Amino acid sequence: MRQQHLETLAAQVGVLLLVNGQKLVTAESCTGGWVAQCLTAVAGSSDWFERGFVSYSNDAKHEMLGVELDTLRTHGAVSEATAAAMAAGALCHSHADWALAITGVAGPGGGSPDKPVGMVCFGWAAVDGRLDTQTCHFSGNREDVRAQSVAHALSGVLDRAAHCSA
């Protein structure tokens, strides 16, 4: 049921982007490409899904998306600053109109008092220069945190792209 819900959200994103004549790029860390998988599960997604980056390591965030090493050192991989840089970098390295980025601590380990398991940072960027970030704290096991992250990221695109077309 969970995957079906995520693919339904992805299909809704696709309809909105198609109507707007726009494309989406993804930059994922803790979700490991799950957003891209949901998007490409939708028939016809090649019309609106431009590409996806899975940048799990700091080196990948820097090399593939242009996240500054100083951003990673100062704020860490799990931060709104890094999510914003990932989204902006994904836009710069694609032909998309919208980008979403996800970076977080899915667990079961890897958390700290400042960045506990379940903390996930998001970035949404548009070619017109808009850039939004958000931090959420999800509960459950690793799969739960990742699934909630995918849903939140897709919902974020829906919210932002819908306001753009209104």
Q: How many domains, in total, are found in the chain?
A: 1
What is the percent of the chain with per-residue pLDDT over 90, rounded to a whole number?
96
Beta-carbon contacts of 41 under 8 Å, excluding residues fewer than 6 positions away, are 7, 10
Q: What is the predicted pLDDT for the residue at 1?
A: 65
* Rounded distance between C-alpha atoms, residue 15 and residue 32, angstroms: 24
Please give the residue range of the domain that contains residue 25. Answer: 2-165
Handedness of CA 78, 82, 84, 89 (dihedral sign): negative
pLDDT in tens, 127-149: 999 999 999 999 999 999 999 99
Query: 8: domain CATH number?
Result: 3.90.950.20
Amino acid at 103: T
Whether pTM exceeds 0.95: yes
pLDDT in tens, 65-114: 999 999 999 999 999 999 999 999 999 999 999 999 999 999 999 999 99
Give the residue among 139, 63, 138 at the shortest CA–CA distance from 102. Answer: 138
pLDDT band at 162 (very low <50, low <70, confident <90, very high): confident
